[in-house]
């Protein structure tokens, strides 16, 4: 990855234009031809650096409800609890973390009742010792793009 790649990658993460020729606009900012920008970005995608090109939707604006939950799971049970939790399509992220509460997952569903039902199910049936529900009371920042040019 050279400097132009880093700049292109930063630009297409930050604000990919909603216009007929978005790569022409990106290319102009990076000082290269449209065809070169396309070739470089396609190469970065083939390499796996770029996972997807598309939109990130705001679930809340579309009426969805989400939460973060933390589970306390006995060390020997993490895998079986994970298998139980991960079966739900509504669970999009799940991480094992280095803490007494060691399994952290996000739930996103069409309404509050659906979220509550999943948390309740996991509480009762997954084998976790304890599950705490931590729905956001404030959202201060969500940034998913990184400046790679620094």
Q: Least separation, in Å, of the C-beta of 31 and other proteins? A: 18
* Cβ-based neighbour number of residue 20 at 10 Å: 7
């306390």: which residue's tokens? 72
Nearer to other proteins, 31 or 142 (CB): 142
Q: Least separation, in Å, of the C-beta of 30 and other proteins? A: 14
- 80 binds other proteins, rule: CB under 8 A: no
Q: What angle do CA 109, 76, 122 make, to 5 degrees?
A: 20
- 2 binds other proteins, rule: CB under 8 A: no
Question: Taking CB under 8 A as the criterion, which residues in 20-49 touch other proteins?
Answer: 20-24, 34, 38, 41-42, 45, 47-49
Residues in Cβ contact with 102 at an 8 Å cutoff, skipping those fewer than 6 apart: 71, 72, 73, 75, 78, 96
Q: Least separation, in Å, of the C-beta of 7 and other proteins? A: 13
Question: Taking CB under 8 A as the criterion, which residues in 89-118 touch other proteins?
Answer: 89-99, 101-105, 108-110
- 76 binds other proteins, rule: CB under 8 A: no
CA dist 13 and 95 (Å) reads 24
| Assigned token pair, 108 | 């996103």
- 131 binds other proteins, rule: CB under 8 A: no
Q: Least separation, in Å, of the C-beta of 139 and other proteins? A: 6
CA dist 95 and 42 (Å) reads 30
- 75 binds other proteins, rule: CB under 8 A: no
Question: What are φ and ψ of residue 47, in 5° steps?
Answer: -70, -15
What number of chain residues touch other proteins (CB under 8 A)? 78
């Amino acid at each position: 990855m050279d400097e132009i790649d880093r700049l292109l990658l930063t630009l297409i993460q930050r604000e990919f234009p909603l216009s007929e020729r978005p790569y022409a606009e990106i290319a102009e900012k990076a000082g290269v031809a449209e065809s070169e920008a396309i070739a470089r970005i396609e190469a970065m995608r083939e390499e796996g650096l770029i996972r997807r090109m598309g939109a990130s939707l705001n679930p809340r604006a579309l009426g969805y409800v989400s939460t973060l939950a933390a589970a306390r799971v006995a060390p020997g049970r993490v895998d079986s609890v994970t298998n139980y939790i991960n079966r739900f399509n509504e669970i999009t992220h799940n991480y094992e973390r280095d803490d007494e509460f060691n399994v952290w997952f996000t739930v996103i569903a069409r309404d509050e009742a659906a979220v509550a039902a999943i948390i309740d199910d996991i509480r009762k049936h997954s084998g976790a010792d304890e599950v705490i529900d931590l729905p956001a009371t404030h959202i201060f920042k969500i940034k998913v793009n990184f400046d790679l040019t620094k």
